[in-house]
């Protein structure tokens, strides 16, 4: 553990833990993860194709972010390499309300070896949300 940072926003705190492998952030006391990134930003050799990476990312999303998956449209993009070996895949979950794309999204990066390299869970406005879904103190 390299360190922990707290940023208070009213009654809530954004906690970020830094380790020798990367960092992870989340809201307390909500127990809501918001982002994690590995310091190792290159995909290790593996043989997962696009559909297998989709399965790995979907299983991760359902386990850790079920509220962000329900009612969302999922896309999978290959961001490094075309298939296998050192390919990186990004799964993106986005919601549409009344035909409009909502700003909230969930992105998960999966390596060709099946490692979750990182994720970002950006909150956004929900229908009738008084603060437009933004975290307190964020524009």
pLDDT, tens digit, 9 for 90 and up, residues 124-135: 544 443 343 434
Rounded CA-CA distance 16/125 in Å is 23
CA 55/CA 50 separation, integer angstroms: 9
Query: Which of 60 and 82 is assigned the larger pLDDT?
Result: 60
DSSP, res 64: H
Predicted pLDDT at 27: 93
Q: Please give the residue that has the higher pLDDT: either 103 or 108.
A: 108
pTM for the whole structure: 0.77
Q: Is the pLDDT of residue 75 over 90?
A: no
C-alpha separations of 87 from 31, 40, 134 in Å: 32, 14, 33
Considering only 25-34, 56-65, 68-77, 128-137, which range has the smallest mean pLDDT? Answer: 128-137
Alpha-carbon distance of 129 to 32, in angstroms, equals 18
As a whole number, the mean pLDDT across the chain is 82
Percent of the chain with pLDDT over 90: 47
Please, are residues 15 and 8 in contact by the beta-carbon 8 Å criterion?
Answer: no
pLDDT of 3-55, one tens digit each?
Answer: 999 999 999 999 999 999 999 999 999 888 999 999 988 888 888 888 999 99
**What is the length of the chain?**
139
DSSP 71-82: TEEEEEEEEESS
**Which pair of tokens denotes residue 121?**
């869970």
* E-state strands within the chain: 3-9, 12-18, 22-28, 32-38, 72-80, 88-97, 100-111, 116-122
Q: What is the structure's pLDDT at 110?
A: 93
Residue pair 30/15 in contact (Cβ under 8 Å)? The answer is no
């Amino acid at each position: 553990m390299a360190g922990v940072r707290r940023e208070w926003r009213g009654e809530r705190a954004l906690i970020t833990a830094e380790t020798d492998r990367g960092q992870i952030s989340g809201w307390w006391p909500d127990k809501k993860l918001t982002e994690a990134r590995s310091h190792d930003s290159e995909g290790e050799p593996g043989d997962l194709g696009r559909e297998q990476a989709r399965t790995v990312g979907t299983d991760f999303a359902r386990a850790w972010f079920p509220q962000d998956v329900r009612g969302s449209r999922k896309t999978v993009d290959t961001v490094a390499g075309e298939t296998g070996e050192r390919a990186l895949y990004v799964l993106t979950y986005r919601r549409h309300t009344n035909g409009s794309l909502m700003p909230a999204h969930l992105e998960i990066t999966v390596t060709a070896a099946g490692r979750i390299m990182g994720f970002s869970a950006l909150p956004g406005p929900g229908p009738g949300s008084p603060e437009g879904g933004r975290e307190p103190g964020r524009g």
